[in-house]
Amino acid sequence: MTVDLLSPAKSQPGARLVPVAPFSIVIFGGTGDLALRKILPALFHRWCDGQVPETSRIIAVSRSDISTDDYLEMVRARLVETSTDDASVKARFAEFAGLVRYHAGDVLADGFDWDALSREIGPDEQNIRLFYLALPPGLFGPVCDRLKSAGLNTARARIVLEKPIGEDLASAKAINDAVGAAFEERAIFRIDHYLGKETVQNLLVLRFANSLFEPMWNSQGVDHVQITVAETVGAGDRTSYYDGAGALRDMVQNHLLQLLCLVAMEPPRNLEADAVRDEKLKVLGALRPIGQDDVSSLTVRGQYGAGAMNGEAVPGYADEIGRASRTETFVAVKAFIDNWRWANTPFYLRTGKRMPERHSEIVVQFHPVPHQVVKSDSGRARPNRLVIRLQPDEGVKLLLTTKDPGPGGMRLRYVPLNLSFADTFGARYPDAYERLLMAVVRDDLSLFMRRDEVEAAWRWIDTVVEAWESEETELYRY
């Protein structure tokens, strides 16, 4: 089935897309990959669906000395690259371009014209102000300080921070302190794009709106949980950042731990921001530290070498960075949550680059039945398994043991009850950045991390890093 990504009526059939209030968004790092690959396309698609009011403003700021027309051509070219319908892009882009302005300059330089930027943004009482820092985390504090000095941190202003928030607990605290000196916590939106995925949000509904699962959603019913994020790509052009981070800091500290929290948390009193985040924080606080004595039995580190994927030769990680390195590109962790609900239930967290296929999923494996009532030669009843697929092909599967139809006796078969979002709802849904940007405008913090969440996650990750360093754990090649 071919899906038109741009027609407003086809984005969510049967759903009413409510326009957000007018806003002005300033994207610092506007010529960077994140802005051109994710942020501007997300705003464009929301514009095509009628959610972005015509009086909104989109202002890209970067040091590149180019004009607004030059910048718009960069944005248009990137949209054409990612769309299957070049004609639709051309038809709608001219209208969208009327919202976009480019502002050249170094925001940390003394000569930067903050007054001109303020005029581009418009009066505070007219539009909500969003400042998106698509920048390295070391610049978050200095840029926020400049925004404060320029008087742009008004009551209607919101600041959006990309991950990573630091590289350990100490640096995360320093960044949070610096940003917090300019903006109140209620105005700080720390993005983890996994929280904007349709299936991740559906996990809350699956758990708390269906009585089927909750009685079994504990150590008595669940044997183990697997959370996997596998990528086929290598470090690529991110090697300068990645070699100082590795898979544990880059993926586990944010994406995988956030997924773990949503699987393991207690039911919140409602889905308001702090109610959800309070419960997630309790999970992070209950994670059993992984110390020097058990790091070798509870974690595995790996690094990809040269090989072939899909018939094409690919370089190893050391070849890409031009030297030997002990940075892990694969990590597996066996984690435990020391609380009443999950005592001694293992949570397996896995992520890696250069994996055989790209997929992200959560697998909840239930305990087997206590007694097999069918004959042994008929096959065994396998444990039920709930599979929540985040990407690609978002959906939910519940695997059950059933009788194989026919007159051949009691033969067992393991089959899925399958909810495919594409097959069931039949159309494209907004991607994570589209949803999260609209949530910022609506002042909905429930999909964003609070300061204490970020720091609690780093506190646990730091124990693993320290144990790795003290034990000099083996780095396997794959």
Backbone angles phi, psi at 187, to 5 degrees: -105, 5
Torsion of CA 369, 370, 374, 377, to 10 degrees: 90
Burial 279-302 (b: 16+ CB within 10 A, else e): bbbbbbebbeebeeeebeebbbbb
Strands of 150-203, DSSP E: 157-161, 188-190
Q: CA-CA distance, 225 to 264, in Å (whole number)?
A: 10
CA–CA distance, 362 with 229 (Å, rounded to integer): 9
Q: 219 burial class (0-12, 13-18, 19+ CB within 10 angstroms)?
A: middle
- 329, 303 Cβ separation under 8 angstroms: yes
Pairing of strands 128-133, 346-352: unpaired
Give the pLDDT of residue 304: 95
341: its two tokens:
């609900």
CA distances from 198 to 206, 272, 279, 376, 433 (A): 12, 18, 20, 41, 11
Q: DSSP 3-state assignment of 121?
A: helix
> What tens digit of pLDDT does each residue of 88-111 get?
677 889 899 999 999 999 999 999
Per-residue confidence (pLDDT) for residue 424, from 0 to 100 = 62
CB 282 within 8 A of CB 461: no
Residue 68, φ and ψ in degrees, nearest 5 = -60, -40
> What are the DSSP calls for 141-156, one per residue?
HHHHHHHHHTT---TT
**pLDDT range class, residue 417, cuts 50, 70, 90:** confident
Among 293, 384, 286, which Cα is nearest to 343's? Answer: 286
* Distance in angstroms (rounded) separating the CA atoms of residues 425 and 439: 22
Residues designated catalytic: 255
Give per-residue pLDDT as tens, 336-393. 999 999 999 999 999 999 999 999 999 999 999 888 777 656 667 789 999 999 888 8
Query: Is a pLDDT exceeding 60 seen at residue 426?
Result: no
- Give the pLDDT confidence score for residue 446 in this predicted structure: 92
- Residue 210 contacts by C-beta under 8 Å, 6 or more apart in sequence? none
Give 372 or 29, the one with higher predicted confidence. Answer: 29
Closest C-alpha among 195, 82, 262 to residue 432: 195
pLDDT single digits (tens) 230-262: 999 998 877 888 888 999 999 999 999 999 999
| Mean residue pLDDT across the chain | 89
- Cα angle vertex 239, ends 235, 241, to 5°? 115
The secondary element (H helix, E strand) that includes residue 222 is strand 222-230
Q: Residue 426 region, left (φ>0) first, then alpha (ψ -120 to 50), else beta?
A: left
Q: Tokens for 10, please give them.
A: 């086809």
Q: Are strands 359-366 and 299-303 parallel, antiparallel or unpaired?
A: unpaired
- Spatial separation of the C-alpha atoms in residues 352 and 248, rounded to whole Å: 9
| 290-319 pLDDT per residue, tens | 999 999 999 999 999 999 888 889 999 999
Residue-wise pLDDT for 156-178, tens only, equals 999 999 988 999 999 999 999 99
Phi and psi at 88, nearest 5°, equal: -70, -40
Q: How many residues does the chain have?
A: 478
Question: What is the pLDDT confidence band of residue 423, given thresholds at 50, 70 and 90?
Answer: low
Helix or strand holding residue 277 (H, E): helix 273-286
* Structure-block tokens of residue 83: 């769309």
Which residue, among 396, 337, 390, has the nearest Cα to 213 in the 3D structure? 396
Q: How confident is the model at residue 13 (pLDDT cuts 50, 70, 90)?
A: very low
